[in-house]
Amino acid sequence: ILSSISTEELSEYLKSTNPVINGSELCTLLNNYNRTTQYLEMEPVLSSALASRTLECVWPRALSASSQADVEQWYNVTLLQYLPYLSSQLISSTQLSGASCLSYRKLVSILGDNYTFAAADFTPADVYSSIKEYLSSGNGSPRCYNSSDPLLNSTAWFVDNIGFFITFITLTDLQSFLSGNILGLFVENSENLQLFNNSKIAVNVTEYYTTQLYIQNSNFNPLRLPGALICNAPGSVFVPFGVEDTQTILSNINKFCSKTNPEVKSQFSFPVPIMKTDFYHLNISIH
């Protein structure tokens, strides 16, 4: 009988029973109905209470989606009307522990893209707490990274797995997610560098990140360091550049850094008037 019911009829039934039907009954109904995804996509949300309970029923299916196509279908189409009804329980570390990497990443992306937290019973800090638990389960290996899997082999690991929530990261967190030698796989990625160029991130985190970058590649061009990350570069990397590049470096140092480092000063003792002008205004804190 259930299989013969149209999505419109199911909607009418739920409207007539709401709020009488309880969570377990609703889940039994949706789990046995063979057109649940069509119902979610085609029928309007009847009430916030029913939407929340509906999302609780189907959420495990969305989290366990393992193909890119299925993940996109769940988040971009099937649950589009229901994502505003996410709860602290649904984004908890307990719930996310069973999420596939692709589904987890999609959720992090959605929550970090102007999600309306004011209407939710959880905060960005709560989301990060769940992220931390999820990523820490890799035991020092990068969770959701596989060099042989084209869907998981991007070195933009921090962008893919933390994104907007990077401002909550601590040095202890960073070291628990990735051991030093593993971190080296990702430190040069330009997207990650842009992500860490954020004044809201703890200073010891960005210092550690930049230090690991130059351990990985001592010849990394400081011109590729965005914003304030240049402040943490070792003085030895500021080898003589051309006039234009040197002006760019000096300009960035003056703009983003606050204390002078003698090691850097020695690198910029140029007998060129315009260089002297910029140099004497240096106020940098490069380590």
Tell me the mean pLDDT in the region 153-160: 98
Pair 14, 60 in one domain:
yes
Pair 64, 15 in one domain:
yes
211 within some domain: yes
Q: What's the total number of domains in the chain?
A: 3
Tell me the mean pLDDT in the region 132-158: 91
At residue 88, the pLDDT reads 98
101 within some domain: no
Residue 252's domain spans which residues?
A: 237-287
pLDDT digits (tens, 9 = 90+) for 196-246: 999 999 999 999 999 999 999 999 999 999 999 999 898 888 877 788 888
Pair 62, 126 in one domain:
no
How would you write the chain as a 3-class SS string? CHHHCCHHHHHHHHHHHCCCCCHHHHHHHHHHCCCHHHHHHHCCCCCHHHHHHHHHHHHHHHHHCCCHHHHHHHHHHHCCCCHHHCCCCCCCHHHHCCCCHHHHHHHHHHHCCCCCHHHCCCCHHHHHHHHHHHHHCCCCCCCCCCCCCCCCCCCCHHHHHCHHHHHHCCHHHHHHHCCHHHHCCCCCCHHHHHHHCCCCCCHHHHHHHHHHHHHHCCCCCHHHCCHHHHHHCCHHHCCCCCHHHHHHHHHHHHHHCCCCCHHHHHHCCCCCHHHHHHHCCCCCCCC
